[in-house]
Amino acid sequence: MTQFKYIKRGVKRQHEIVQDILPFLEKIASIEGIRKVVPAKISYSPKRGISQPEIKFQRETLSGFKLMAHSKGTIQEIFVVVEGSKRGQIKKELDTIMLKK
């Protein structure tokens, strides 16, 4: 995998990342066939009283998947870029990891 300035352990770290989600993102990035994990827009939600951070599958995109990370009053979009030939296998692994959390 090519190393870029802001990518460490497969996770882009140029911007903020929702509290306590980084170890989970690094675990996702270690799955074979995932090129990178890109945390994106953070939204604030005062009604979200989640004690434990969680990540949910949102939808498939042209380059991979979109996940949503929920934590204490915040919601963050997470984009996972994958190799096209391994999309189905990666989706199953993501589902398994999210169920264990």
pLDDT band at 7 (very low <50, low <70, confident <90, very high): low
pLDDT digits (tens, 9 = 90+) for 51-100: 778 888 999 999 999 999 888 888 889 999 998 888 889 999 988 877 66
- pTM value? 0.80
Run of H or E including 88 = helix 87-100
Q: Measure Cα distances from 19 to 30, 46, 88 in Å.
A: 20, 15, 29
User: What's at 27, amino acid-wise?
Assistant: K
- Each domain of the chain, given as residue ranges in start order, spans 7-100
H or E element at residue 8: strand 7-8
Lowest mean pLDDT of 15-19, 31-35, 78-82, name the range. Answer: 15-19
Q: Which two tokens stand for residue 40?
A: 């994106």
- Region of 30 on the Ramachandran plot (φ > 0 left; ψ -120 to 50 alpha; else beta): alpha
